[in-house]
């Protein structure tokens, strides 16, 4: 009985933990469109989603069946075996989902729990088969192989279908509304609103009614039998209401469609995916209750799990509250959502994923196909399509914080409507699917159709999509293996196995927590965001401030690199090397902001545009030179090459000190918007050039008398050359900055 108590207690704790990590990953399913389009403030979006979750949990009672009998045949397993299976599943699920949350990768909680149940139940089944001397071919007596295959085939096919639907629906929608949709919205908005609201309401009824804990069988039957009437009625009512709103008010009807869609998808998530988080623990408690009437509870067979059970509504609502609170409090949920939003954003920017061969190959194939289509397609049709998708006069909505939404309301509504329609259609035909896969692939398809993946960004976006899809296969494999191994450990070591695996789980979660904080710090770019981009004066000032902050970081990293080289400190140099990527990312962000500012300067006809664009070259030069110094220092030490000569240390100390001093002075001037004394600047630059020339001659003498060997000389000259590049670029930055300030003063006067 002690084992039963420990297992049930752990299952209860794991249920809460799984709710938290599960919501953190699945939040992207219903937040992507509303957060990406910035339809309303984020807190209000979360409130709508939380209401959807609380409504959805009451629809999830019937879905709990999959945890008890969906994957394995419970009549062949005892209470002890069932508890070991369920405990292994929950431990593996929390570890796996938290890992994906840490790295901001959306995955399917449905796929994870299916493969975890499959792995753990197969582990126990094999042990039972071996102990009875049976052939492994009888494994099908223990596992619902037909149902598992049906679920997997449905889930995998939904990936391709969802992507194609997203492409087609978004293409048609953009042809109808264009990017400047204010005029076309009044013409076609009522029809679009009717279709959207009808599909979402139909989605709510069809997806939710079957699992509800409060509707009677006759009420559910009536909904199913009158689905078409409900659909037509909802369409007609929505059409007339939205058309009236468009004719007599200035309300944007896309907003209510997106918000209702957010509510519907959140409700569907809670109704469909709650089983993934608490279904297994509830099944464990149900098994325990059934075993109470037996003389030997641990060894009693669990045939009773085949019987239908109605889950207590209070338990469902409690789970819903935990999920809703997690939605507001979880930072990892925002990390996962940001991944999908970044992959589908319309604007250019810093890409999170690096390109790799398969993505490059797919982009090449896609580009060649498009070139071929353009040759064979009538030019008149192509001209019409390009005209409808033209963004020349498109002015994206600017939010109150000065930021541009990742995509517009047209695409957000398409994501909602297409996802809802696909999920409700599959549900009505009893076809299994993953809500994560459907919503993600619809969003990616609509991004492709909308031109968000252009020649500049396609390879990085596709790399991201392939990384996420690869993660889905990793989910299935790792879920199976982890639960299989965990179940064997629990089976043989019982309570000691529970203690060890629990400690291991806590340790992994703790490590992931710190890793996530580290990732957030590494990728934090808030300080380099360009806000209020409509105001060219603020844009210019902000860009210079950002450059000042960047130079401050470059100075610190240069000093760290040299200190690491001088003291032969591998750890310090490794940290410096890892920070190089962060500097490069920040540089690219500032450069992207400069391009935005240049567009504003062009619009405002400011003459400083030409000089201001030189910032780009200078910033790139500084970042590359700093990176070269750091990487060379790291490789020199890590490969155990001979350290610097004492005289070289003294000379390079003067060089690095001067460079860092110059960078810090420049940083302060840029941040505080102060004019620079160009005469003093020229004097410092000339002095530094003379010092570099002097050290160059001394190094030539050391090379000639063979005091300094080849590798040491290469490293020494890398410091001199790159330092000179940094100083030169910094001087150019200050000159550009001075000119910009003078022009600004003239404009004021």
Q: Residue 63: pLDDT band by 50, 70, 90 thresholds?
A: very low
Task: Verify that 516 and 538 share a domain, yes or no.
Answer: no
Does some domain include residue 659? Answer: yes
- The per-residue pLDDT of the chain, averaged, comes to 81
Task: Verify that 245 and 282 share a domain, yes or no.
Answer: yes
DSSP assignment string, 374-395: HHHS-HHHHHHHHHHT--TT--
Task: Verify that 564 and 508 share a domain, yes or no.
Answer: no
Q: Residue 53: pLDDT band by 50, 70, 90 thresholds?
A: confident
487, 520, 553: which is the final residue of a domain? 520
Task: Verify that 334 and 374 share a domain, yes or no.
Answer: yes
Over residues 260-289, mean pLDDT:
78
Determine the pLDDT at residue 456.
76
Task: Verify that 447 and 495 share a domain, yes or no.
Answer: yes
Q: Does residue 295 surpass a pLDDT of 80?
A: no
490, 520, 550: which is the final residue of a domain? 520
Determine the pLDDT at residue 70.
60
Task: Verify that 507 and 550 share a domain, yes or no.
Answer: no
DSSP assignment string, 482-493: HHHHHHHHHHHH
Task: Verify that 538 and 583 share a domain, yes or no.
Answer: yes
Question: Whole-model pTM?
Answer: 0.79
Rounded Cα gap, residues 445 and 162, in angstroms: 8
Q: Does residue 746 surpass a pLDDT of 50?
A: no
Domain that holds residue 312: 2-393+409-520
Pick from 187-196, 323-332, 343-352, 494-503: least confident: 343-352
Pick from 97-111, 259-273, 281-295, 590-604: least confident: 590-604
Does some domain include residue 658? Answer: yes
Task: Verify that 603 and 503 share a domain, yes or no.
Answer: no
pLDDT digits (tens, 9 = 90+) for 141-158: 777 777 777 777 777 788
Q: Does residue 500 surpass a pLDDT of 90?
A: yes
Over residues 30-46, mean pLDDT:
87
Does some domain include residue 398? Answer: no
Determine the pLDDT at residue 191.
86
Does some domain include residue 399? Answer: no
pLDDT digits (tens, 9 = 90+) for 420-466: 778 777 766 666 677 888 889 999 999 999 888 887 788 889 999 99
Q: Residue 578: pLDDT band by 50, 70, 90 thresholds?
A: confident
Kindly provide the residue ranges of all beta strands, DSSP E only, lying in 152-209, ordered along the sequence.
none
Determine the pLDDT at residue 209.
56
Exposure on the CB side of residue 9, measured as CA atoms within 13 A: 10
Rounded Cα gap, residues 529 and 546, in angstroms: 9
493, 520, 547: which is the final residue of a domain? 520
- Location of structure tokens 């940083």: 667
pLDDT digits (tens, 9 = 90+) for 664-680: 888 888 777 777 777 78
Determine the pLDDT at residue 478.
93
Q: What are the two backbone dihedrals, phi and then psi, of residue 529, each rounded to the nearest 5 degrees?
A: -75, 140
Rounded Cα gap, residues 637 and 634, in angstroms: 5
| Better-scored residue on pLDDT, 14 or 63 | 14
Task: Verify that 463 and 545 share a domain, yes or no.
Answer: no
Q: How many structural domains does the chain have?
A: 2
Rounded Cα gap, residues 663 and 661, in angstroms: 5
Percent of the chain topping pLDDT 90: 15
Question: Residue 229, Cβ neighbours under 10 Å: how many?
Answer: 9
Over residues 696-725, mean pLDDT:
86
Task: Verify that 280 and 136 share a domain, yes or no.
Answer: yes
Task: Verify that 537 and 516 share a domain, yes or no.
Answer: no
Does some domain include residue 665? Answer: yes
Does some domain include residue 528? Answer: no
Does some domain include residue 653? Answer: yes
Rounded Cα gap, residues 346 and 341, in angstroms: 10
Task: Verify that 574 and 447 share a domain, yes or no.
Answer: no
Does some domain include residue 400? Answer: no
Sign of the four-CA dihedral 598, 601, 605, 606? negative
Indicate which CATH number applies to the domain containing 594: 1.20.58.220
Percent of the chain topping pLDDT 70: 85
Q: Does residue 94 surpass a pLDDT of 90?
A: yes
Question: Residue 372, Cβ neighbours under 10 Å: how many?
Answer: 10
């Amino acid at each position: 009985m002690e084992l039963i108590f420990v297992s049930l207690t752990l299952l209860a704790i794991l249920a809460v933990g799984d709710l938290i990590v599960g919501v953190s990953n699945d939040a992207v399913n219903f937040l992507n469109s509303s957060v990406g389009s910035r339809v309303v403030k984020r807190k209000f979006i979360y409130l709508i989603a939380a209401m959807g979750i609380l409504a959805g949990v009451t629809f999830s009672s019937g879905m709990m069946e999959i945890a008890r009998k969906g994957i394995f045949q419970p009549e062949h397993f005892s209470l002890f075996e069932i508890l070991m299976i369920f405990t292994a599943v929950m431990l593996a699920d929390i570890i796996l989902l938290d890992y994906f949350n840490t790295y901001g990768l959306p995955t399917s909680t449905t796929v994870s729990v299916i493969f975890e149940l499959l792995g753990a139940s197969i582990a126990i089944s094999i042990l039972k088969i071996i102990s009875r001397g049976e052939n492994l071919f009888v494994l099908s007596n223990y596992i619902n192989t037909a149902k598992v295959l049906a679920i997997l085939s449905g889930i995998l096919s939904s990936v391709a279908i969802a992507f194609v639907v997203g492409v087609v629906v978004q293409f048609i929608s953009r042809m109808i509304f264009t990017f400047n949709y204010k005029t076309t919205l009044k013409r076609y908005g009522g029809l679009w609103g009717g279709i959207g609201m009808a599909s979402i309401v139909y989605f709510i009824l069809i997806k939710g009614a079957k699992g509800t804990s409060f509707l009677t069988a006759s009420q559910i039957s009536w909904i199913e039998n009158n689905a078409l009437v409900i659909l037509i009625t909802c369409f007609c009512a929505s059409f007339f209401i939205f058309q009236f709103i468009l004719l007599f008010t200035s309300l944007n009807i896309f907003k209510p469609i997106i918000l209702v869609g957010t509510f519907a998808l959140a409700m569907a998530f809670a109704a469909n995916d709650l089983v993934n988080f608490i279904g297994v623990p509830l099944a464990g408690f149900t098994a325990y209750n059934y075993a109470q009437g037996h003389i030997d509870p641990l060894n009693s067979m669990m045939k009773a799990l085949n019987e239908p059970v109605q889950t207590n509504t209070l338990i469902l609502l409690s789970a819903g509250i935990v999920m809703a609170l997690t939605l507001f409090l979880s930072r990892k949920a925002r990390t996962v959502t940001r991944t999908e939003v970044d992959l589908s954003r319309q604007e250019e920017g810093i890409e999170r994923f690096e390109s790799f061969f398969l993505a490059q190959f797919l982009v090449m194939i896609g580009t060649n196909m498009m070139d071929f289509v353009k040759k064979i397609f009538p030019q008149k049709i192509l001209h019409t399509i390009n005209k409808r998708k033209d963004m020349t006069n498109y002015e994206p909505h600017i939010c109150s914080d000065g930021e541009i939404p990742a995509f517009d309301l047209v695409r957000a509504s398409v994501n909602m409507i297409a996802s809802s329609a696909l999920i409700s259609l599959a549900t009505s035909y009893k076809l299994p699917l993953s809500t994560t896969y459907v919503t993600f692939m619809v969003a990616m398809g609509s991004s492709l159709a909308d031109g968000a993946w252009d020649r500049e960004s396609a390879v990085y976006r596709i790399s991201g999509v392939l990384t996420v899809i690869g993660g889905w296969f990793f989910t299935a494999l790792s879920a199976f293996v982890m639960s299989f191994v965990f179940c064997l450990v629990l089976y043989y070591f019982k309570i000691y196995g529970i203690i060890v695996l629990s400690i291991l789980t806590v340790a992994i979660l703790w490590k992931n927590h710190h890793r996530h904080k580290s990732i957030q710090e590494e990728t934090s770019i808030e300080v380099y965001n360009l806000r209020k981009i409509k105001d060219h004066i603020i844009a210019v000032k902000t860009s210079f401030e950002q450059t000042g902050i960047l130079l401050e970081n470059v100075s610190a990293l240069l000093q760290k690199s040299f200190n690491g080289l001088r003291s032969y400190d591998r750890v310090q140099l490794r940290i410096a090397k890892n920070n190089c990527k962060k500097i490069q990312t920040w540089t690219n962000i500032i450069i992207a902001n400069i391009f935005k500012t240049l567009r504003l300067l062009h619009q405002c006809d400011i003459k400083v545009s030409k000089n201001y664009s030189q910032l780009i070259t200078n910033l790139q030069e500084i970042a590359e030179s700093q990176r070269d110094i750091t990487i060379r220092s790291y490789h020199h030490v890590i490969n155990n090459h001979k350290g610097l000569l004492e005289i070289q240390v003294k000379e390079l100390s003067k060089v690095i000190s001067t460079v860092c001093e110059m960078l810090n002075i420049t940083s302060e001037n840029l941040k505080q918007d102060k004019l620079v004394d160009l005469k003093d600047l020229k004097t410092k630059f000339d002095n530094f050039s003379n010092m570099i020339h002097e050290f160059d001659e001394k190094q030539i003498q050391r090379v000639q008398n063979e005091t300094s060997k080849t590798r040491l000389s290469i490293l020494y000259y890398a410091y001199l050359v790159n330092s000179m590049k940094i100083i030169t670029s910094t001087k150019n930055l200050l000159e550009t900055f001075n000119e910009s300030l003078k022009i600004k003063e003239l404009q004021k006067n």
